[in-house]
Amino acid sequence: MASQPHIHCPRCQWEPRIDSRWYCAPGEPGSGCGTRWHTFWTAGCCPGCGHFWEMTQCFSCKQSSPHQSWYHYPSGDDEAQRRQEALETAR
């Protein structure tokens, strides 16, 4: 039984909706192709230009946080291992 990480904003606990869409804006080096997509389906990778977003913006508190900090795992688990699995599953 694979347990999925819980995804929510590390600052305000807002959870992305199934129809939430992020915009590839020119905010990081190499980004800015204008694609709209659900960033947690691709582990932060823009499907338009292949840019991996370091930071992910919350639509509730409007703050950007490191993409990995949105994934929350049950305590006691090996976070690094599960983090890697989450990335591979998303590809």
What residues make contact with Zn ion under the rule CB under 5 A? Answer: 9, 11-12, 14, 24, 33, 35, 46, 48-49, 51, 58, 60-61
Q: Which is nearer to Zn ion, 46 or 86 (CB)?
A: 46
Instruction: Output the smallest distance, CB 40 to Zn ion, in A.
Output: 14
Task: Say which amino acid occupies 79.
Answer: E
Quick check: 7 and 22 in contact, CB under 8 A?
A: no
Quick check: 58 and 65 in contact, CB under 8 A?
A: yes
- The 3-state DSSP class for residue 65 equals strand
Instruction: Output the smallest distance, CB 71 to Zn ion, in A.
Output: 14
